[in-house]
Amino acid sequence: MQFLSDKEPGESIIRPSSRGPSYLTLTLKISDGVYAHKDIVEGGKEHKDITSLLRIGKTLKIGDDTFEDLDEVKFPKFFGCTAYDYKANFFPLVGA
């Protein structure tokens, strides 16, 4: 999470997942040192073709939602709120 460490809460990145070549991880910075993660399952990859594994999948799935492009993936819907809402609702005593 070093990349997001100096970013503002609400910033997010999509990165390779440790789960394997058919997964990505969407990471959202909630506050300093607090991050939320969602798995993205990449579909349409041929596991016998190494070059296929190096490309983004033909479909991207988060839960029940399916997308064809990373630009379609928007984090607030998948985390259920914005970073500000998350902090206000789940960490009301932080800094108090």
For residue 71 the two structure tokens come to 């630009």
DSSP H helices in 5-74? 50-54
2-84: CATH number: 3.30.505.10
Segments making up each domain of the chain, as ranges: 2-84
| Backbone φ and ψ of 6, nearest 5° | -100, 10
pTM of the model: 0.71
For every one of its 96 residues, what pLDDT tens digit does the chain have, with 9 covering 90 and above? 788 999 988 888 899 999 988 999 988 888 888 888 889 999 988 878 888 778 888 899 988 888 888 887 765 555 555 555 555 544 444 444
What's the maximum distance between 2 C-alpha atoms anywhere in the chain?
Answer: 54
